[in-house]
Amino acid sequence: MQEKQEKTGLVWFRNNLRVNDNSSLKKATENHKNIIAIYFFDPKYFKIDEFGFQKTAKFRAKFLIETITDLQKNLSDINITLLTYFDAPEDKIHTICSQFSIDSIYTQKEWTKEEVDTNNLIKNTIPENVSFIEDYDQFLYHPNTVVTDFSKIPNVFTQFRKKLEKKVEIQELNTIQKLSDTNLIENNTKIPTLTEIGFQNFEENKKTAFPFSGGENSALERLNNYFFETKKVAFYKKPRNGLVGTDYSTKFSAWLANGSISAKTIYWKIKEFEAEFGANQSTYWVIFELIWRDYFKYISLKYHSKIFKIGGILEKEYHWNSDSETIQKWIDGKTEDDFVNANMIELKETGWMSNRGRQNVASYFAKELLQDWRIGAAYFESLLIDYDVHSNYGNWMYVAGVGNDPRDRKFNTKLQAERYDANYKFRKLWLQKTLF
């Protein structure tokens, strides 16, 4: 290991909001005796987008504040101070570099346009002798082990999955050593409240299927509960298309989305469970879903900004509408389809929707109502607690027929309701004022 430097390393947290299995944190601790961490509640992520939606609405904002509060505590436990700002990184990092004699910035590798633009602005303001060190830290299969040319990523998921499962190993977890308490510094910054970001405080809807709080500790608690306390992971595959309750699915997605837990942590915990209790289709299927998550990230790496274009990665020229009245009825759960309505009301009231629900309402929006699928994707971005740019736009392209579905399917929402909500339990839960 190289000799530690006297200069200070800055760990800039983005969507890697955890202490465990964090490669940026590991690299910083290996190369510096002095480390400071920083997180920005970037105002541009709370602004109104081109379709009229707030990019981050109240549900994800609340979850984020809980996450950063947790992160600050966990970093303090290993003697690292987390500075927090409600400010743009490009307006602040150069000052931090000067104030604390920073010689290296460690951060998660991002590649979508907004994040890359922010990186470039930062690089233009920091001194030339400050290293900007990035690492892909949001994958199950690290890109360095998968491919050197992203253009060679297959356009069909099954081909991608089979090749990875056959040839690529999952890396071990990154472990972080506790620093000396002399590393802690005085912290005059504060984590903003919901009202300081611009929201009103709100009570969680008691009917929500996602009653969990943000943060690494909550993620690990859920992981342990789902795997070892209840052993529900052994039965995951059958109820995964459920609609009601906390345990029809793992519910890991929100913590994965902001990096409170890594995909590798979940993978190795599955392997631990399988070693003790045996492997089956359900334990494999959780890994299968993690590979899907990776796949959309690789598609994003392959096609870059095409995932945000109306023609998608296929550059298809469909005719799309943008009728405000039709769109608002979809948002408000006032379409002609009660299954779609129930799911949309759940989203509006809780910031959560099941995977089955998402596929149905997205297909209905794009292929029944024939509205511009990017508007639906932007609405999901605003509301969903577990919003992940790659999965969100990848899935929306998929159901809209401009992405990775080789069969270009359309969901029959009536048949889907009969299959997955035959007893009307879900629709009664969310439509009782109008239906019953």
Binding residues for FAD: 236, 249-253, 386-388
- Which residue in 225, 199, 210, 212 sits closest to 66, CA to CA? 212
366, 401 in Cβ contact below 8 A? yes
- CB-based contacts of 411: which residues, under 8 Å, 6+ apart? 359, 360, 363, 364, 367, 399
| Number of other residues whose CB lies within 10 A of the CB of residue 90 | 19
Binding residues: 236, 249-253, 386-388
CA distance 74 to 61: 20
11 membership: H or E segment, kind and range = strand 5-12
Amino acid at 97: C
> Strand pairing partners for 32?
5
39 membership: H or E segment, kind and range = strand 32-40
Token output for 427 = 């629709």
- CB-based contacts of 86: which residues, under 8 Å, 6+ apart? 40, 41, 43, 192, 196, 197
Token output for 275 = 């070693």
- CB-based contacts of 116: which residues, under 8 Å, 6+ apart? 110
Amino acid at 196: E
366, 400 in Cβ contact below 8 A? yes
At 110, phi and psi to the nearest 5?
-120, 160
